[in-house]
């Protein structure tokens, strides 16, 4: 192991190591971050949810958006798979259907960044019937 | 750079370790590998989550899913179901004792809601055997800041302003202790970390050392810089093998990074740390006894003054602080004295770690802001008294402490309020007692411990505690007299005033505090020969129910002392003066007519005599 000779070295080392524990820091208060939940149950995986998740994880990081990306089980919207639920800090969760890479990009640029509603929202009222 | 999407944190604290968390880790790790998930999922061993009773714990991030009592065989299901398909493994989730529902997310567990983790900030979050994870979470940043940007006095002033007080029991202001030690001139000075932790049932210091050893090493170095010492010693009991191992790993990693050793971070400050092992005597936690023991002498206390700050290890100025005290220091440096002093009460700042135990639903290690009430701790964090029983008291401060009762439930707790209530903060043991606990027996339990642990150096403690114990014992076996209560009171205050060290001085506390709060229980034991909670076996009585007894005489034939009398087909009666409570009659009776009672009808006794 290399010796850390100055405080700046130490800070550099910290920067390098941050990614190891980043997720753990974020998980401490998810409410203050953008939360993305990708439905990854059987039908979800079949319809490409894994790629969508991959996309969110790498792209959000690249575009410097503090977010927690998790997977969930069946959301009950199998017809619209892959589905993604987005919760902006302090807002109600919104579910998007038929999400592919292109849609995901639009969601990040327009909904997550600007808060604009984009097509493909699945109305959630019927799961309260 | 790696982008793990999921972290599986497996507790590797002593509690979970004992229930095979190592195997759980191995299995999860293998399973991740077998499924080719290495790039997505990171499996890490961490320190204690504080929920040891329900261990082994596995926490899944980022969703904060909290699995309890995970067995090695569950690993596959966690990977298949949760990691791959995103469905929680319901049967492993924590069951809320109130609602009887599974709680998915640790954020919603009552246990964690009111906690504030400062000293335990990294326990259960990082891999304690990997210094890089600690560094990513700010380890050694405070040390760097202090030695490059501050003079020793400035750093001392910062600690003073924060209001930090010793967590080892007495609550002495930490900054002040550092200042006094810094002013005593000498060629050599020492920083000592007290990791003896002798209070029965306490394990907060162990958990900090196991879960976040670097926080303590860093703080010791900061202390060294402040007081002008370049040598640190950690006095740890040999019964803490896991903590010792983690400390050794941490020290060697810190040395190889140059964060311990000569010219730390390019400065002219040098500091190194060694371990010293204790045999686990309670009195060795007392600082003068601890120093004697480290010097190879008998672990007996000596008179203060001189205080260690003046003449300590090898006769040199020595600053002794507790593990938890140290663990707070780096955060104070980084977040500021004002941040720290904004938490807590007027005179007690910050948080305190408690080991919550006894008749409570959520047994475990908790960290709460000073000033929280017992009610919040017991009913919100602790999930209430076990089995819906009635709350009776909370014992705090271990063998040096006392009991708090119903009337103290809403008192904000800090050093002063506990003292005023006749108890003590102590090192942080907190045992909840319910209606089934006998307060005389509780006092006897602690005195028994004291008699065992007294070093014998001074008479008040050696002989006095023994007398206290014997008196309590008389009372619990039904031989107590009114006079015994007076003996307890008088002897208690004599010992308190004349014993040489803190062990003896505080030894009568459990007795005095139970006398103050539960005099009626003492009176019942003495005058009615009754123990209301049914704990004192000698105060239980075999009684025959007039209604159920058929007068078959089976019991009279087995009674070894001929205590039972009665005519055939007439209800029988046990003479309590003669009965030796062997239980033979109860076993023999086929009509369930005999039962163990806390009381017996005295009138009946009198007529049979
Ligand atoms: C009988 C007895 C036992 C003690 N045991 C411990 C102990 O196990 N751990 C500890 O830190 N302090 C213990 N103390 C307190 C120490 O003497 C000392 O006050 C403390 O380590 C100072 O550190 P602090 O100011 O950070 O609390 C004990 C004191 C007495 C009288
Ligand atoms: S008070 Fe007890 S433990 Fe302390 S010196 Fe006296 S005999 Fe030893
Ligand atoms: S054995 Fe039971 S029923 Fe028979 S005399 Fe004794 S108490 Fe009564
Ligand atoms: S408990 Fe034993 S001694 Fe007492 S009455 Fe029953 S048989 Fe006799
Ligand atoms: S399995 Fe995917 S929505 Fe039902
Ligand atoms: S040792 Fe695992 S939760 Fe405490």
pLDDT above 80 for B609: no
Domain that includes residue A97, residue range:
29-122
Q: Residue B64's pLDDT is what?
A: 86
Q: Residue B415's pLDDT is what?
A: 94
Residues B144 and B90 in one domain: no
Residue A11: list chain B partners with CB under 8 A. 141
Domain for residue A82, yes or no? yes
Residues B186 and B82 in one domain: no
Q: Residue A41's pLDDT is what?
A: 63
Binding site membership of B581 for ligand 4 (Cβ less than 6 Å) = yes
- Residue in A6, A19, A70 nearest the CB of B266: A6
Domain for residue A10, yes or no? no
- Domain at B281, CATH number: 3.40.50.11540
Cβ A22 vs Cβ B133: under 8 Å: no
- Higher-scoring residue by pLDDT: B466, B1: B466
Among the three residues B434, B449, B483, which one is the final residue of a domain in this structure?
B434
Confidence category of residue B606, pLDDT binned at 50, 70, 90:
very low
Ligand 3 atom showing the smallest separation from residue B550 Cα: 3
Residues B184 and B264 in one domain: yes
Place of tokens 């941050």: A18
**Counting every residue, how long is chain B?**
609
Contacts 24+ apart (CB under 8 A), B68-76: B68/B92, B68/B93, B68/B94, B69/B19, B70/B21, B70/B24, B71/B20, B71/B24, B72/B20, B72/B23, B72/B24, B72/B26, B72/B27, B73/B27, B74/B24, B75/B24, B75/B27, B75/B28, B75/B30, B75/B31, B76/B27, B76/B31
Binding site membership of B302 for ligand 3 (Cβ less than 6 Å) = no
pLDDT above 90 for B238: yes
Q: Residue B601's pLDDT is what?
A: 64
Domain for residue B74, yes or no? yes
Binding site membership of B351 for ligand 1 (Cβ less than 6 Å) = no
Domain for residue B126, yes or no? no
- Domain at B603, CATH number: 3.30.70.20
Binding site membership of B10 for ligand 6 (Cβ less than 6 Å) = no
pLDDT above 90 for B507: yes
Based on the number of CB atoms within 10 Å of its own CB, is B30 exposed (0-12), middle (13-18) or buried (19 or more)?
middle
Confidence category of residue A42, pLDDT binned at 50, 70, 90:
low
A46 in contact with chain B, both atoms CB, cutoff 8 A: no
Residue B454 corresponds to which tokens in the numbers above? 């007294």
Residues B183 and B331 in one domain: yes
Q: Residue A24's pLDDT is what?
A: 82
Among the three residues B79, B113, B147, which one is the final residue of a domain in this structure?
B113
Question: Could you write out the three-class secondary structure of B50-113?
Answer: CCHHHCCCEEEECCCEEECCCCHHHHHHHHHHHHHHCCCCHHHEEECCCCCCEECEHHHCHHHH
For the stretch B320-365, pLDDT in tens is 999 999 999 999 999 999 999 999 999 999 999 999 999 999 889 9
Residues B267 and B303 in one domain: yes
Domain for residue A5, yes or no? no
- Domain at A67, CATH number: 3.40.30.10
Q: Residue A21's pLDDT is what?
A: 85
Residue B2: list chain A partners with CB under 8 A. 19-20
- Domain at B512, CATH number: 1.20.1440.230
Domain for residue A128, yes or no? no
For the stretch A5-38, pLDDT in tens is 999 999 999 998 888 888 788 777 777 788 888 8
Q: pTM to 2 decimals? A: 0.87
Domain for residue B443, yes or no? no
> What are B's interface residues with A at a Cβ cutoff of 8 A?
1-7, 9, 42, 61-64, 84-88, 107, 125-126, 132-133, 135-138, 140-141, 144-145, 148, 253, 256-259, 265-266
- Higher-scoring residue by pLDDT: A101, B276: B276
A124 in contact with chain B, both atoms CB, cutoff 8 A: no
Confidence category of residue A128, pLDDT binned at 50, 70, 90:
very low
Domain for residue B535, yes or no? no
Q: Taking residues B36-48, what's their average pLDDT?
A: 89
Residues B484 and B560 in one domain: no
- Domain at B374, CATH number: 3.10.20.600
Domain for residue A6, yes or no? no
What does the alpha-carbon distance between residue B604 and residue B131 come to, in Å, rounded to a whole number?
74
Residues B506 and B601 in one domain: no
- Number of domains chain A contains: 1
For the stretch B380-435, pLDDT in tens is 999 999 998 999 999 998 888 999 999 999 999 999 999 998 888 888 899 999 99
- Higher-scoring residue by pLDDT: B105, B246: B246
For an interface test with A, the pick among B35, B86, B250, B265 (most A C-beta atoms closer than 10 Å) comes out as B86
Q: What is the overall mean pLDDT for chain B? A: 92
Domain for residue B121, yes or no? no
Domain for residue A46, yes or no? yes
Residues B187 and B77 in one domain: no
For the stretch B135-162, pLDDT in tens is 999 999 999 999 999 999 999 999 999 9
Residue B100 corresponds to which tokens in the numbers above? 């009887």
Domain that includes residue B363, residue range:
351-434
Among the three residues B307, B340, B373, which one is the final residue of a domain in this structure?
B340
Domain for residue A16, yes or no? no
The torsion defined by the Cα of B66, B68, B71 and B75, in degrees rounded to 10, comes to -10
Domain for residue B192, yes or no? yes
Residues B24 and B171 in one domain: no
Cβ A63 vs Cβ A57: under 8 Å: no
Domain for residue A51, yes or no? yes
Pairing relationship of beta strands B318-322 and B190-195 according to DSSP bridges: parallel
For the stretch B526-556, pLDDT in tens is 998 999 998 998 899 999 999 999 999 999 9
- Number of domains chain B contains: 5
What is this model's ipTM? 0.80
CB contact under 8 A, A18 and B266: no
Binding site membership of B196 for ligand 1 (Cβ less than 6 Å) = yes
CA of A74 to the centre of ligand 5 (A): 4
Residues B93 and B36 in one domain: yes
């Amino acid at each position: 192991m290399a010796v850390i000779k100055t405080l700046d070295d130490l800070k550099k080392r910290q920067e390098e190591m941050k990614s190891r524990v980043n997720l753990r820091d974020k998980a401490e208060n998810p409410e203050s971050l953008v939360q993305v939940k990708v439905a990854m149950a059987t039908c979800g995986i079949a319809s490409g949810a894994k790629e969508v998740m991959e996309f969110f994880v790498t792209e959000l990081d690249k575009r410097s958006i503090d977010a927690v990306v998790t997977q969930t089980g069946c959301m009950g919207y199998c017809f619209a798979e892959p589905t993604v639920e987005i919760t902006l800090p302090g807002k109600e969760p919104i579910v998007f259907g038929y999400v592919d890479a292109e849609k995901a990009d639009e969601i990040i640029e327009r909904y997550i960044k600007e808060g604009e509603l984009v097509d493909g929202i699945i109305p959630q009222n019927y799961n309260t019937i | 750079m790696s982008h793990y999407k999921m972290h599986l944190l497996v507790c590797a604290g002593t509690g979970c370790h004992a229930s095979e968390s190592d195997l759980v880790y191995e299995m999860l790790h293998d399973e991740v590998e077998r499924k080719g998930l290495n790039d997505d999922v990171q499996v890490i061993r961490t320190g204690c989550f504080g929920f040891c009773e329900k261990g082994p714990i596995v926490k899944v991030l980022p969703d904060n899913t909290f699995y309890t009592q995970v067995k090695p065989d569950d690993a596959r299901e966690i990977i298949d179901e949760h990691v791959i398909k995103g469905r929680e493994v319901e049967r492993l989730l924590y069951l809320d004792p109130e609602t009887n529902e599974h709680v998915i997310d640790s954020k919603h567990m009552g246990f964690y809601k009111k906690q504030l983790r400062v000293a335990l900030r990294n326990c259960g979050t990082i891999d304690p055997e990997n210094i890089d994870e600690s560094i990513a979470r700010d380890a050694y940043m405070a040390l760097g800041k202090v030695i490059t940007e501050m003079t020793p006095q400035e750093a001392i002033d910062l600690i003073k302003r924060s209001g930090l007080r010793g967590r080892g029991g007495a609550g002495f202001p930490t900054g002040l202790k550092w200042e006094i030690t810094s002013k005593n001139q000498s060629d050599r000075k020492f920083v000592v970390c007290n990791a003896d932790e002798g209070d029965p049932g306490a394990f907060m210091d162990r958990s900090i050392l196991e879960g976040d050893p670097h926080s303590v090493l860093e703080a010791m170095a900061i202390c060294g810089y402040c007081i002008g010492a370049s040598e640190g010693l950690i006095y740890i009991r040999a019964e803490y093998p896991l903590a010792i191992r983690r400390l050794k790993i941490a020290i060697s990693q810190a040395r190889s990074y140059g964060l311990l050793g000569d010219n730390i971070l390019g400065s002219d400050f040098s500091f190194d740390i060694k371990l010293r092992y204790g045999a686990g005597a309670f009195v060795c936690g007392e600082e003068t006894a601890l120093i004697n023991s480290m010097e190879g002498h008998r672990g007996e206390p000596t008179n203060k003054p001189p205080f260690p700050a003046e003449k300590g290890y090898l006769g040199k100025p020595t600053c002794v602080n507790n593990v938890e005290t140290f663990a707070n220091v780096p955060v104070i440096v980084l977040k500021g004295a004002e941040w720290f002093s904004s938490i807590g009460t007027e005179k007690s700042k910050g948080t305190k770690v408690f080991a919550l135990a006894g008749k409570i639903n959520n047994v475990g290690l908790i960290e709460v802001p000073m000033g929280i009430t017992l009610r919040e701790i017991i009913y919100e964090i602790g999930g209430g008294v076990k089995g819906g029983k009635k709350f009776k008291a909370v014992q705090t401060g271990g063998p040096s402490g006392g009991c708090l009762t119903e009337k103290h439930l809403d008192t904000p707790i800090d050093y002063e309020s506990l003292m005023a209530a006749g108890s003590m903060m102590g090192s942080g043991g907190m045992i909840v007692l319910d209606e089934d606990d006998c307060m005389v027996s509780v006092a006897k339990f602690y005195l028994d411990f004291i008699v065992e642990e007294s070093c014998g150096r001074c008479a008040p403690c050696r002989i006095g505690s023994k007398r206290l114990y014997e008196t309590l014992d008389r009372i619990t076996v039904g031989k107590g007299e009114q006079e015994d209560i007076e003996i307890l009171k008088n002897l208690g205050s004599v010992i308190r005033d004349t014993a040489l060290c803190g062990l003896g001085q505080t030894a009568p506390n459990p007795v005095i505090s139970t006398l103050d709060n539960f005099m009626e229980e003492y009176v019942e034991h003495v005058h009615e020969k009754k123990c209301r909670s049914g704990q004192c076996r000698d105060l239980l009585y075999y009684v025959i129910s007039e209604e159920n007894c058929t007068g078959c005489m089976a019991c009279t034939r087995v009674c070894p002392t001929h205590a039972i009398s009665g005519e055939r087909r007439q209800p029988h009666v046990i003479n309590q003066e003669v009965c030796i409570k062997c239980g033979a009659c109860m076993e023999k009776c086929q009509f369930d007519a005999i039962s163990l009672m806390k009381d017996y009808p005295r009138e009946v006794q009198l007529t049979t005599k």
